[in-house]
């Protein structure tokens, strides 16, 4: 099949190639009758402008680059699901890449996207903004997600209230009477994990509770890691009566491990997670979690990028924090026999200063 070119459209319509280009790109004045003739001929010939060639004229690719730590799992699929419809409504497609939390992989992904995208969204909890800076383009807007932006914060950034969410959940567990509260943590190199650990320790301090070194175990944000960490915690003497997990994957792994040891959740050990991924409500017992509106996280990142593109000149960077809330189910023992979740406002028990944790 012979492909139709812009030259063919120009010849059939009896106009110059430049005129066809102006019509298709809506980039210059063309008489109405000429525009109608060119559009009709293009339709008759089934002509589709070549994206790369068109971008040379418009200097726009109508594509956003998105670099995520992974493309697998409920969290990341929900982030993408939040981004895609809004990007499309604004005339953009997404070019996706995963970095596996590796700075070199992020560098390669950014190099591959150079010149192919109009803006970038980079989620990098394991790589700080300062470390990313040498690899980020300076001629297009960038929005950082779940990233340690540092004190200068020169780029637009959107973060989850990891500290507040973790603190509120641990204070809730303490309010249920638990005095031995353990944590299955993420890697210390991960910004989200560090903030959730900070919230855990702050809550214990506020509640007047102590922790033992053996009650904090790293689980790597995976089900397998949560399983192994829970086995280790279950062997502690004294054993913790509650476990706060830095994400839902580890919490689900932890509950499986406790069950395998003959321990009852929440009767013997209460368990809570973070993120409130969809599977949390369907697990048995249903998992209490710190809810992050992950769909909104993705959508808001696209909104921020579109806003940055709409500005004619550089503006002060925008830094936003996405609020969290507690969704309480059977795994923490707050709901008794019922499986229906209860949304908990931490301000009810801990004062107005905690109202940021509700939407």
Q: In whole angstroms, how far apart are CA 102 and each of 127, 273, 293?
A: 8, 25, 25
The whole-chain average pLDDT of the chain stands at 86
Nearest partner of 329 among 264, 269, 284, 359, judged by Cα: 284
203 with 272: CB under 8 angstroms? Answer: no
Both tokens assigned to 35: 């525009």
Q: Cα separations (Å) of 23 from 45, 79, 229, 334?
A: 15, 37, 63, 64
What is the pLDDT at residue 7? Answer: 86
Half-sphere exposure for 138 (CA within 13 Å, toward CB) = 2
pLDDT at 2 over 70: no
Q: Other C-beta atoms within 10 Å of 86: how many? A: 17
| Alpha-carbon distances of 175 from 79, 158, 206, 348, rounded to whole Å | 32, 31, 11, 12
**Contact (Cβ atoms closer than 8 angstroms) between residue 307 and residue 141:** no
For the question of whether the overall pTM of this predicted structure is more than 0.95, the answer is no
Are the beta carbons of 327 and 276 closer than 8 angstroms? yes
How do residues 267-284 score in pLDDT, each as one tens digit? Answer: 999 999 999 988 899 999
Question: Collapsing DSSP states into helix, strand and coil, what is residue 16?
Answer: coil
Q: What are 78-132's pLDDT values in tens digits?
A: 899 999 999 999 989 999 988 877 788 888 888 888 888 999 999 989 988 888 8
Rounded CA separation 324/314 (Å)? 30
* Structure-block tokens of residue 210: 């102590």
Rg (C-alpha) for the chain, rounded Å, is 26
Q: What b/e sequence results for 164-195 when a residue is b if at least 16 CB atoms lie within 10 Å of its CB, and e otherwise?
A: bbbbbbbbbbbeeebebbbbbbbbeebbbbbb
Structural domains in the chain plus CATH codes:
6-58 (1.10.260.40), 63-161+295-322 (3.40.50.2300), 162-293+323-357 (3.40.50.2300)
Rounded (10°) CA dihedral 160, 161, 167, 171? -100
Percent of the chain with pLDDT over 90: 55
Residue 345: is its pLDDT beyond 90? no
Helices 294-309, 74-89: axis angle to 10 degrees equals: 40
296-339 pLDDT per residue, tens? 999 999 999 999 887 756 678 889 999 999 999 999 987 644 44
Distance CA 317, CA 112 (A): 25
Half-sphere exposure of 130 (CA within 13 A, CB side): 4
In sequence order, the β-bridge partners of residue 122 are 67, 144
pLDDT of residue 246: 97
Given a contact cutoff of 8 angstroms between Cβ atoms, the answer to whether 230 and 257 are in contact is yes
């Amino acid at each position: 099949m012979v492909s139709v070119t812009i030259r063919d459209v120009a010849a059939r319509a009896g106009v110059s190639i430049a005129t066809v280009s102006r019509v298709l790109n809506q980039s210059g004045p063309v008489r109405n009758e000429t525009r109608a003739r060119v559009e009709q001929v293009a339709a008759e010939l089934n002509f589709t402008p070549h994206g790369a060639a068109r971008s040379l004229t418009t200097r726009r690719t109508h594509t956003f680059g998105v670099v995520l730590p992974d493309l697998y799992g409920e969290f990341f699929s929900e982030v993408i699901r939040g981004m895609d419809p809004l990007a499309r409504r604004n005339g953009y497609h997404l070019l996706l890449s995963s970095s596996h939390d590796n700075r070199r992989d992020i560098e390669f992904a950014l190099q591959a996207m150079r010149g192919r995208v109009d803006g970038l969204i980079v989620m990098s909890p394991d790589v700080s903004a300062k470390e990313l800076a040498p690899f980020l383009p300076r001629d297009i807007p960038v929005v950082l997600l779940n990233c340690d932006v540092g004190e200068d914060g020169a780029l637009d950034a959107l973060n989850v209230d990891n500290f507040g969410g973790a603190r509120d959940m641990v204070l809730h567990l303490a309010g249920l009477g638990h005095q031995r509260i353990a944590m299955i943590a993420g890697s210390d190199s991960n910004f989200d994990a560090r903030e959730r650990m900070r919230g855990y320790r702050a809550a214990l301090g506020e509640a007047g509770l102590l922790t033992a070194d053996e009650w904090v175990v790293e689980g790597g944000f995976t089900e397998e890691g949560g399983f192994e960490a829970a086995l280790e915690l279950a062997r502690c003497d004294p054993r913790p009566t509650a476990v706060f997990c830095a994400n839902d994957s580890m919490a689900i792994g932890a509950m499986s491990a406790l069950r395998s040891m003959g321990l009852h959740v929440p009767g013997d050990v209460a368990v809570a997670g973070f993120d409130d991924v969809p599977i949390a409500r369907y697990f048995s017992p249903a998992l209490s979690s710190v809810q992050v509106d992950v769909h909104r996280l993705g959508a808001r990142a696209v909104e921020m990028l579109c806003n940055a593109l709409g500005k004619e000149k550089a503006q002060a960077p925008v830094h936003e924090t996405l609020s969290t809330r507690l969704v309480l189910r059977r795994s923490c023992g707050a709901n008794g026999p019922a499986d229906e979740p209860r949304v908990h406002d931490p301000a009810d028990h801990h004062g107005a200063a905690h109202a940021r944790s509700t939407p």
